[in-house]
Structure 1
Amino acid sequence: MPPPPTTLTLVTDAAQAKAGLAGLIDRDPAALSVVASVIDGLVADPTRYTGPRWWLGADPSGDVVAAFMHTPPHPLHVAVATEETARDLAARLADAGDALPGVGGQRRPAEAFADEWVARTGVGSRVSMEIGSFDLPVAPQLPFEVSGRFRRASASDLGLVDRWNRAFVDAIEGGGRTPPSLALAVADGRVALWEDDGRPVSMAYASPANGGITRISGVWTPPELRRHGYASGVVAALSRERQDLGERCMLYTDLANPTSNAIYEAMGYRRVGDGVHITFSA
Structure 2
Amino acid sequence: MPPSSTSFTLFTEAALARTAFAALVEREPQALSVVASVTDALVADPTRYAGPRWWAGTGADGKVVAAFMHTPPHHLHIAYATPAQARGLAAHLAEGHDSLPGVGGLREPTEAFAEEWATRTGVTGTVAMEIGRFDLPVRPRLSFAVPGRFRAATPDDAALLDEWNQQFYEAVDGHGARASSLDAHVASGRVGLWEDGGRPVSMAYASPANGGVTRLSGVWTPPELRGHGYASGVVAALSSARQDAGESCMLYTDLANPTSNAIYQAMGYRRVGDNVTITFGA
TM-score normalised according to structure 2 size? 0.98
**What is the one-letter code of the residue matched to 1:182?**
L
Q: Tell whether the 8 Å contact from 1:4 to 1:59 is kept in structure 2 after alignment.
A: no
Q: Report the counterpart of residue 238 of structure 1 in structure 2.
A: 238
Superposition RMSD on alpha carbons, in Å?
1.1
Give 1:145-184 correspondences, 5 Å limit: 145-184=145-184
Match of 1:209 in 2: 209
Post-superposition CA distance 1:47-77 (Å, at most 9, x none)? 1111110000111000101000000000000
1:214-247 alpha-carbon deviations (Å, 9 max, x no partner): 0000000000000100000000000000000000
**Equivalent position SS for 2:88:** helix
Give, in whole Å, the separation in 1 of the partners of 2:237 and 2:7: 43
Which contiguous aligned blocks of 4+ residues in structure 1 show a shift greater than 2 angstroms? Answer: 2-5
The equivalent residue for 1:124 is: 124
- Asked whether 1:23 is paired with 2:2, we answer no
Separation in structure 1 between the aligned mates of residue 232 and residue 3 of structure 2, nearest angstrom: 44
SS at match of 2:145: coil
Query: Which has the larger displacement, 37-46 or 240-249?
Result: 37-46
Q: CA deviation at 1:3?
A: 7.5
Give the corresponding residue for 2:110: 110
**Shift of residue 179 of structure 1?**
1.6
Give the structure 1 partner of residue 259 of structure 2: 259
Identify which range, 77-86 or 175-184, moves more after superposition.
Answer: 175-184
Supply the distance in 1 between the matched residues of 2:129 and 2:177 (Cα, whole angstroms).
18
Question: Hey, what's the Cα distance between the residues in 1 that align with 2:281 and 2:149?
Answer: 45
Partner of 1:224: 224
Opposite residue 88 of structure 2, the aligned amino acid is D
Deviation of 1:4 (Å) = 6.0
- Show the counterpart of 2:270: 270
Secondary structure, counterpart of 2:260 in structure 1: helix
- 1:249 maps to 249
List alignment gaps of at least 5 residues for structure 1.
Answer: none
Aligned-pair distance for 1:5? 2.2
How many residues were matched structurally? 281
How many Å separate the matches in 1 of 2:6 and 2:159? Answer: 46
Task: Give the 3-state SS of the residue equivalent to 1:87 in structure 2.
Answer: helix
Q: Which runs of 5+ in 2 are unaligned?
A: none
